[in-house]
Every structure is written in C-alpha cells, then in structure tokens.
C-alpha cells in the first residue's frame, strides 16, 4: 500500500480561510459545477444529434460504429474499409472501444455513441475542478478552470467531430493526474490503463507523467542514486515515476511494433509509416534517427516549408486561449511535447495540426491543468492579492469567450477559430437531400455490402461490409467494387467521376483487370442508388 504523501513545499496557498467559509463556498461551487456540466452535456448532445441528423458527419463515425456493431455481434474489432487489414487492431490498439460494445448492444444506435462521448467529455470538468482547487486552495479557481475546459475549442470540436475514442482518454488522463497528485496508486493505475486502452500514443503521455512525478520525488531519487538500497519498490519513485514510464513505453512499442502488425498484411507498412511520416524515413527507427540527427531539416520542414504557417496558426490556436500560461510550467509542457511533435511532424497538418480534429485530445488535460499551475505560480511570484487573483481568472474567462465568439480569427485566420456550436447554427441544411438519402438507403438490404460516399457512411454502418467511395490511401479504391450496391452523393465526389453517373449503367474501374458494372436503380436530389450487375 502506497502511503507516502507528496511534498508540498512548493505550494504557496493564499491566506487560510475558515473551514466553515470554505465549505460554504464549496457547496455553492459544486452546485454550479453540476449545473455547468449538465448544461454542457445537454447542449452538446443536442448539437451532436443535430449534426448527425443533418448528414454533416463523415466516414470516421461509420468506421467506429461498424467496429462496435461487429464486436457486439461477436466479430471482435472487425472493419471492412481499410487497406491491408480487416481489423481495427491493424490500425491501432483500441481495447477500450470494445468495452463500449455491451452498452451499444443494449441501445444499438449511433445516438448511444455520441451521447457516451459527450457525457465523458463533460465529466472531465470534475477532475479539473479537484486538481485546481487543491493547488490554488480555492474552490472558485477550480470552478473557473473546469469551465475553461468545456469552453476550450479543441474540446468542443472533438466533441462534435464524429466519434473518436481519444476523446475518452482526455477525461481518463485528468483523473489519472488527479490520482498522481494525491499519490493514490490504485486509482492512478486504473485510470492510466483505461487511457492506454484508447490509443497507443497515450503511452507517450504516460512517460511524460512519470517524468513529472520523478521531479517531484527528486530528493528520493538523489538518495537512491547515492545509496540504492534506501528506496523500496513501494516508493512513489517507482509507483508514480518509473512504473508509468515503463508501462507507457512498453505499451507504445508493443502496440505499434508487435500487436498492430499481427492484424495487418505483414508485407505492407503501417498507416503511420506509409502515409503520415514517410518524409522522414521508411521505418520507425529511420524516422526517429532523422528527427534526432537532423534537427535543422526537421525545423525547416515544420515551420518554414509551404505548410509552416498552417502549423504556426495551429500552435497559436492551442496556446492563445490560455494566454500561453503552459509555458510557465516546463514539466507540464514536457508531457505534451510528444503529441505536439507527432502533430507538427505530420505531412497532413490540415488533419493533425488542426484544432478542429481530435488529435489534440491528449494535449488538452495538460494545457488546462498546466495553465492553472502556471497562473498560480505567476501570481505567487508577483505576491498578488485576492483582487489580482479574481482579475486574472476573469481575464481567462474573457479570453475563452472571445475564442468561442471567433475574435481570434482576426489574428490566426478563419479556419476553425470559433465555437463549432455557433457554426452549426449558421449551417444551411438541405432537407430535401436528407429525405432522398433516407429513402434510397431504405432500399438497400441490411445484409448487403454497400459502397458509399463520405457523408452517407455514418448512416449505413450497421453492416458487415461497407466501403468508402471513391477511395484513397487509407480506404483503398480496390475494395469499393466489393459493394453490392453504390449509394452516392454527387455533391460529395470528384467532378470527373460525377460526369460518369449520367447514364443508366456505370462501370467502375479500380485497377488493371479490376472493375465492376452497376445499374442505376434511382436518383433523387443528386443522390443515386446503383446495384451491381452480376
């Protein structure tokens, strides 16, 4: 049993308050926190359902629902659309997603998935409140930063970006960090394992958390270096420092180098090597070697290439809502560096280095908590009084609201720097096309293999075989002729292909000797349904 308490010499709380006044304030803030979380869940559940019903989501939602639907029917993690694998484990290890299958089996609906994600994100405000309350010795500071989490644009965009299992890791990591700060080993281990079950790259975050804890325990580390027999295995040095580092690194390497290759064509490289980081090498070792030995090339690629401005805008979008306060906490910043690195090194910054996408979810916990710690440290250094604390917290709330209102677009640019909820309110919805898609989709047998375009995919995912039209490097075009039916939104496919859909038959060629002919069954509102000619 771990009983050691973390050193508290670095914490400089404000003047002590009476227990009665503290409890009175805590009661009010807990009520406000509960109302805020319920309000967030209600608003963003409604927004997610509205976006889904308006055919504004894409194929990622279809992929993850198919995985969960197949798992609920006994076909563990099966998926049909990817290149070189028929299992999502051939893309990445996501065992936690499989744990959602029993819940989904009880309520087999896309709404179940969207609701679970929103609830989990909303509940992430609780550990933020607890962590900041303990550091600041202020329930109101805890409440403010809990609100700032839910007002943070990367959180909101992740919430409304289809379905991504990384979103669950945000809340799990926040609880893991709370347990780490309180030196609660069992809770820390449980939350860490849940987070690791969301994606392999969570392992990199856990390494950073271990380093963070080692610095806190540096006196014990130095004592151990001088006299190794003085530190026991039950010591926080091992439990919160070395253990998460070994666990995180072990999971990351095991997942990507051993487990994922077991579920994909051994003659084909992984998605990461083949598509995202191939500019640095053809293997994991070569990529790491390039990053470590050619920093000039890497920095030029990231910041001074044609896509450099896009990456700089991304960093501004991440840091500006919290006034760059994370930079005042180097240890917390260190935890985020591997994920920032993965996003910035990607050759698709419009996907990875973009606050609208879910790749920021593993950064979010430490951006929020690190900013809270940074502001607390700064106010302590300035010997600021209670009035300054209130002004500083109020200033962050103003920044968050300005970010949601789109004020930062003047500085950063138009892409995504406004609340996605507000964006939804101004979207034009084509109700006639939605009715046409619903009508045509009802004509496709539920056990038939379907090839469909991006926006329609999420509404046809409860089937064993679904394929993405017209295909790309992730969803290979060679697979699309396996569909018994084609259901195509003409406005959602390339112009050159659209021109071929005017006749009663369409011959789909996907490679040398690979083709299939489809006969048109119906067309409504620029949406057409085709059946394969045997």
Q: Is a pLDDT exceeding 50 seen at residue 4?
A: no
Residue pair 343/353 in contact (Cβ under 8 Å)? The answer is: yes
Task: Give, in degrees to the nearest 5, the angle at Cα 443 between 440 and 447.
Answer: 125
Q: Is a pLDDT exceeding 90 seen at residue 311?
A: yes
Q: What is the pLDDT of residue 471?
A: 82
Residue pair 104/284 in contact (Cβ under 8 Å)? The answer is: no
Mean pLDDT of all residues belonging to the chain: 89
Domains of the chain: which residue ranges?
431-532
Q: Which of 232-246, 295-309, 430-444 has the lowest mean pLDDT?
A: 232-246
Q: What is the pLDDT of residue 12?
A: 47
Q: Which residues contact 527 (CB under 8 A, 6 or more apart)?
A: 433, 436, 437, 440, 456, 487, 488, 489, 490
Q: Is a pLDDT exceeding 80 seen at residue 229?
A: no
Q: Is a pLDDT exceeding 70 seen at residue 186?
A: yes
- Structure token pair of residue 484: 């018994």
Q: How far apart are CA 86 and CA 74, in angstroms?
A: 14
Can you give the pTM of this predicted structure? 0.91
Q: How far is CA 370 from CA 123, 215, 325, 348, 520, in A?
A: 19, 15, 7, 27, 57
Q: How far is CA 327 from CA 152, 367, 508, 523, in A?
A: 17, 10, 53, 56
Q: What is the pLDDT of residue 22?
A: 52
Q: How far apart are CA 431 and CA 454, in angstroms?
A: 18
Give a three-class secondary structure readout of 98-158: HHCHHHHHHCCCHHHHHHHHHHHHHHCHHHHHHHHHHHHCCHHHHHHHHHHHHHCHHHHHH
pLDDT in tens, 246-287: 999 999 999 988 999 999 887 776 766 667 888 888 777 888
Q: Would you place residue 9 in the very low, low, confident or very high pLDDT band (cuts 50, 70, 90)?
A: very low
Q: How far is CA 484 from CA 81, 254, 438, 511, in A?
A: 14, 38, 18, 18
- φ/ψ of 524, rounded to 5, equals -140, 130
Residue pair 522/530 in contact (Cβ under 8 Å)? The answer is: no
Residue 406 vs residue 111, higher pLDDT: 111
State the Cα torsion 244-99-173-13 to the nearest 10°: -110
Q: Is a pLDDT exceeding 90 seen at residue 70?
A: yes
Q: Which residues contact 88 (CB under 8 A, 6 or more apart)?
A: 63, 67, 77, 78, 79, 82, 94, 97
Residue 447 CB neighbour total at 10 angstroms: 9
Q: Would you place residue 446 in the very low, low, confident or very high pLDDT band (cuts 50, 70, 90)?
A: very high
């Amino acid at each position: 049993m771990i009983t050691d308490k973390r050193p508290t010499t670095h914490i400089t709380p404000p003047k002590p308050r009476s227990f009665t006044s503290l409890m009175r304030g805590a009661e009010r803030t807990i009520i406000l926190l509960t109302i805020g979380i319920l309000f967030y869940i209600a608003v963003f559940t409604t927004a997610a359902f509205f976006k889904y019903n308006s055919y504004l989501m894409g194929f990622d939602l279809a992929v993850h629902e198919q995985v969960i639907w197949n798992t609920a029917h006994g076909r563990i993690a099966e998926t049909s659309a990817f290149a070189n694998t028929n299992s999502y484990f051939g893309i990445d290890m996501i065992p936690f997603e499989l744990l959602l299958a029993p819940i989904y089996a009880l309520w087999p609906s896309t709404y179940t998935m969207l609701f679970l994600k929103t609830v989990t994100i909303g509940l992430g405000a609780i550990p933020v409140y607890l962590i900041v309350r303990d550091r600041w010795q202020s329930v109101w500071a805890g409440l403010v930063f809990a609100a700032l989490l839910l007002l943070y644009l990367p959180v909101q965009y992740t919430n409304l970006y289809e379905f991504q299992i990384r979103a669950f890791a945000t809340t799990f990591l926040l609880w893991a960090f709370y347990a780490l700060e309180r030196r609660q080993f069992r809770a820390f281990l449980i939350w860490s394992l849940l987070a690791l079950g969301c994606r392999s790259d969570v392992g990199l975050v856990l390494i950073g958390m271990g380093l963070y804890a080692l610095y806190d325990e540096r006196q014990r580390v130095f004592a151990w270096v001088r006299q190794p027999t003085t530190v026991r295995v039950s010591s926080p040095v091992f439990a919160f420092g070395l253990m998460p580092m070994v666990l995180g690194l072990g999971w990351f390497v095991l997942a990507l180098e051993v487990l994922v290759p077991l579920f994909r064509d051994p003659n084909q490289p992984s998605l990461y090597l083949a598509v995202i980081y191939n500019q640095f090498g053809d293997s994991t070792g070569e990529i790491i070697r390039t990053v470590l030995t050619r920093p000039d090339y890497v920095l030029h690629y990231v910041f001074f290439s044609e896509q450099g401005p896009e990456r700089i805008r991304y960093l501004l979008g991440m840091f500006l809502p919290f006034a760059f306060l994370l930079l005042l906490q180097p240890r917390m910043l260190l935890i985020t560096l591997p994920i920032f690195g993965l996003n910035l090194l990607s050759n698709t910054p419009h996907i990875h280095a973009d606050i609208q996408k879910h790749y920021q979810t593993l950064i979010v916990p430490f951006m929020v908590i690190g900013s809270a710690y940074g502001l607390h440290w700064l106010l302590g250094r300035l010997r600021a009084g209670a009035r300054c604390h209130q002004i500083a917290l109020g200033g962050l709330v103003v920044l968050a609201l300005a970010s949601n209102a789109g004020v930062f677009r003047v500085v950063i640019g138009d892409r995504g720097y406004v609340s996605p909820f507000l964006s939804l309110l101004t979207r034009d919805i084509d109700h006639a096309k939605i009715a046409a898609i619903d009508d045509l989709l009802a004509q496709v047998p539920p056990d038939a293999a379907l090839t469909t375009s991006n926006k329609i995919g999420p509404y046809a995912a409860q089937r064993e075989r679904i394929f993405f039209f017209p295909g790309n490097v992730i969803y290979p075009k060679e697979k699309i002729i396996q569909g018994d039916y084609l259901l195509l939104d003409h406005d959602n496919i390339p112009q050159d292909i659209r021109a071929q859909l005017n006749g009663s038959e369409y011959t789909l060629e996907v490679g040398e000797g690979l083709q299939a002919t489809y006969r048109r069954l119906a067309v409504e509102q620029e949406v057409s349904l085709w059946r394969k000619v045997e």
